[in-house]
Structure 1
Amino acid sequence: MTTQDVADKLVGLCRQGQFSEAISTLYHNDIVSIEPDGSPQKEARGLSAVQQKTEEFNNMVEEIHGMEVSDPLVADKFFSISMKLDITFKGAPRTNIEEICLYQVENGKITREEFFFTPMAPQ
């Protein structure tokens, strides 16, 4: 798959809320995932670590009220998307999160992802 193919597939799965499916089918075994400073987990290395990080995030969520995923912007072996979430975390007020997600693709698989957003203050 080309970078554009991977980007389009990821966006389609994310828009359907199928994040686990996206990770299991599009991510490389040696994926590196980077979150901004102040996030609960700054870095995850390897497919199982990223899957676990996603599961931990899902366990913190009370309800997702809405989500918007942009079309991808592709250049060479990189692509970015913006994502907006209207979300309620367990024990926290409803909030909106806006982030830029940057991905690197090698041989048809995502090998690196990095998220840019302002982390919520601890409750």
Structure 2
Amino acid sequence: MTTQEVADKLVQLCREGKNDQAIEELYAENVISKEPKGSDMELTEGKEAVKNKTLKWEESVEEIHSASCSDPIVVDSHFAIVMNIDATYKAHGRMAMSEICVYEVKDGKIASDEFFYRMG
């Protein structure tokens, strides 16, 4: 798949709430995932570990009030999207969050992702 095709498929699956399917179909086995410095998941390596990180996040959520995902901006082998979520977390209560998500595609799969958001 091209970078545009990967980006479009990721956005489609995220909008449908199919995060696990997105990882399974679109991520490379040796993917590297980065969160902001100081977060408990600052660096995650490998598709299985990324799946576990996503599952851990899903388990921390009590209720999702709203979520959205922008159309992708694609440049060569990279693309970016904006994700917004308003959720109630089991440990932190209700929080709204916006993040910029940047992805790199190699050989038709997501080789890396990095998420930019304000912590705290």
Name the TM-score class by shorter chain.
over 0.9
Residue in 1 aligned with 2:56? 56
- 1:18 aligns with 18
TM-score after normalising by structure 1: 0.95
Q: % of aligned pairs identical?
A: 47
Alpha-carbon displacement from aligned partner over 1:67-119 (angstroms, at most 9, x marks no partner):
01000000000000000001110032211010000000001100000000012
Q: Which runs of 4+ in 1 moved over 3 A?
A: none
Q: In the aligned structure 1, how far is the partner of 2:18 from the partner of 2:118?
A: 24
Matched, 1:102 2:111: no
Q: Deviations over 1:8-38 (max 9, x none)?
A: 0000000011000000000000000000023
Distance apart, 1:41 and its partner CA: 1.1
In the alignment, what sits opposite 2:71? 71
Partner in structure 2 of residue 90 of structure 1: 90
Structure 1 gaps, min length 5: none
Q: TM-score, normalised by structure 2?
A: 0.97
CA distance in 2, matches of 1:91, 1:42: 19
More divergent stretch after superposition (90-99 vs 72-81): 90-99
Task: Quote how far apart the aligned CAs of 1:53 are.
Answer: 0.6
What is the total number of aligned residue pairs between the two structures?
A: 120
Distance apart, 1:40 and its partner CA:
1.8
Unaligned runs of 5+ residues in structure 2 are none
